[in-house]
Chain A
């Protein structure tokens, strides 16, 4: 029970501090799930991010479900997933009541003016940390380079990028 509460709270924290989409949450998820609680290894976390690109739903939900299930079976999956959702449910329901009043409030825009650049820093940091773990030979760098060209220049969809990278992995390793 203590574990379930801890998992709920950890994922609620992740939900409450996620700005700017799934990738920006990776450093926070790594800190909490890998470094502090040791619920996953960094390898497993990267694998789930890869799986997330090929399955429905946002990374945060997928990671919560996976971690919860791995640590405490179905109740764990439920506790962690509900944890990610709860902050949004509270924040948005409260704000929706004062919907238009909030719209005119520029204070949040000032705060976001500071958060937006740091979201970029979070994603860049995620790329560095995950790169450190995922890339350990020339083949890895080669796959990253090909995948980057595919997505950056040819605008290939991320699902296809991950699937093709995996197939390249099967061929090269």
Chain B
């Protein structure tokens, strides 16, 4: 039922495909250029721009989209550009949105990378990085705590967390294997929980 509503929600979407593609590219280029640090920060910005301001996507559909991209692998920012672009303008929309979104960081990092070797020799930059590295550690500890509050909800979760950490740290197991095994465990554990 909701499918039909969401399809009719595309009324405000421009009919001119070239214009729409350009708008998608431009929107994600601007969003990509201003979301420092990347990640989930981009979601409310996309919502403001495409749901509230332009009205191209219905609020409920946007929530569904964001729920969907969080349940598949991939970089959040990239995923959100792809799904929005695809829903509004098909495969070419997905391509142009992701291109627009990734371009600013691509260019900025290219510039930094081309100067980095020279930059790196200045004592002041070296000292800055000596301080920034412990800062990164603090952000990671904080991220682990706040993710833990959301992601670990029951004893099974604690078990998966502990065994995952042991496997990574002491057994030096490849992260991809750890992810696959834990997904498989999740399937078995939560599937059985559902049946009862």
Contacts and interface: CB of A to CB of B under 8 A. Distances in A.
Contacts of B53: none
A34 interface: no
Interface residue range, chain B: 35 or more
Contacts, number: 354
B75 interface: yes
A46 B139 contact: no
Contacts of B179: 17, 19, 115, 118, 122
B76 A122 contact: no
Interface in B35-78: 35-40, 64, 67-69, 71-78
Interface residues of A, number: 106
Given A58-B77, A113-B186, A140-B133, A53 B139 contact: yes
A5 interface: no
Contact of B105 (A65, A96, A106): A65
A18 B94 CA distance: 19
A165 to B, nearest CB: 3
Contacts of A141: 134
Secondary structure at the A interface, as helix, strand, loop or mixed, is helix
A125 to B, nearest CB: 4
Given A57-B109, A135-B134, A152-B145, A84 B75 contact: yes
Interface string B162-185: 101100110000111011001111
Nearest to B128: A166
Closest 7 CB pairs of A and B: A169-B131, A114-B186, A57-B105, A165-B135, A58-B38, A121-B164, A88-B74
13 contacts: A58-B105, A65-B105, A85-B102, A92-B72, A113-B157, A114-B184, A116-B152, A122-B164, A125-B169, A134-B134, A161-B135, A165-B135, A166-B128
Interface of A: 13, 15-24, 26-28, 31, 43, 46-47, 49-62, 65-66, 69-70, 74, 77, 81, 84-85, 87-89, 91-93, 95-96, 99-100, 102-103, 106-128, 130-131, 133-135, 140-148, 150-152, 158-159, 161-162, 164-170, 172-173
